[in-house]
Amino acid sequence: MSKNYETIFENNKKWIAEKLNADPEFFDKLAAGQNPEYLYIGCSDSRATAEELMGMAPGEVFVHRNIANVVNTLDMNSTAVIEYAVEHLKVKHIIVCGHYGCGGVKAAMTPEDLGILNPWLRLIRDVYRIHQKELDAIECDQQRYNRLVELNVQEQCINIIKMACVQERYILDDYPIVHGWVFNMKTGKLIDLEIDFEEILADIQKVYDLTNSTWVMGKK
């Protein structure tokens, strides 16, 4: 067994001691349940952790991560997480957070057979196809790569907004609101892409209205 592996358990003991020193009831509170206001959907990249980036404590963020922060509505993993967060945890905000330097996005831009990853990366290639005119007009490879990271976040936000559970709960509670972020590893900064949730919802309901209602944005 490697020394690094054993160090994890030593770190865990130190973490427990630090938490109890700051709050003797910390673990009692933690075990009592969770009531997060945020669902964070991010990349599995080991450099882009959710709570640390957001400055949040355990129990404050419900987290789902996969390669390139993709939301595929045919993937029961991501859809189950979203539905549970929306219907049972009653989160108020859903965040899709990508990051510059994403290996998944870069792999999707590379003409190479990557085996079992091909169907997953095809979802990102679909994003490129939708925005090909804009992306092909960017001469700098790095800038084009960064822009695809942003557009991928945008399209995953749209996939979430299409979901019936999101639409239905928003009608009832004015929540959840969907946000798109990008993490810049070179600066540590979180960038809000300022996704216009209400405008997107109003627009896509012309096609993706799954609520069986005559509701329109603004509830007029």
- Rounded Cα gap, residues 147 and 136, in angstroms: 11
- Kindly report, residue by residue over 168-214, the tens digit of the pLDDT: 999 999 999 999 999 999 999 999 999 999 898 888 877 777 666 54
Of 47, 126, 129, 173, catalytic: 47
- Kindly report, residue by residue over 38-86, the tens digit of the pLDDT: 999 999 999 888 999 999 988 999 999 999 999 998 899 999 999 999 9
pLDDT at 1: 60
- Rounded Cα gap, residues 58 and 36, in angstroms: 9
Reply yes or no on whether 140 is catalytic: no
Compute the CA torsion angle 200, 206, 211, 217 (nearest 10 deg): 50
**Cis geometry, peptide bond prior to residue 24 (ω within 30 degrees of 0):** no
**pLDDT mean over 6-14:** 94
- Rounded Cα gap, residues 14 and 149, in angstroms: 37
Domains and CATH numbers, the chain: 1-33 (no CATH), 34-208 (3.40.1050.10)
pLDDT at 167: 93
Of 64, 99, 157, 179, catalytic: 99
pLDDT at 212: 60
Of 64, 102, 157, 179, catalytic: 102
Of 110, 138, 132, 119, nearest in space to 70 by CA: 119
Tokens of 144: 């084009």
Reply yes or no on whether 147 is catalytic: no
Reply yes or no on whether 99 is catalytic: yes
Reply yes or no on whether 47 is catalytic: yes
Reply yes or no on whether 165 is catalytic: no
**pLDDT mean over 108-130:** 91
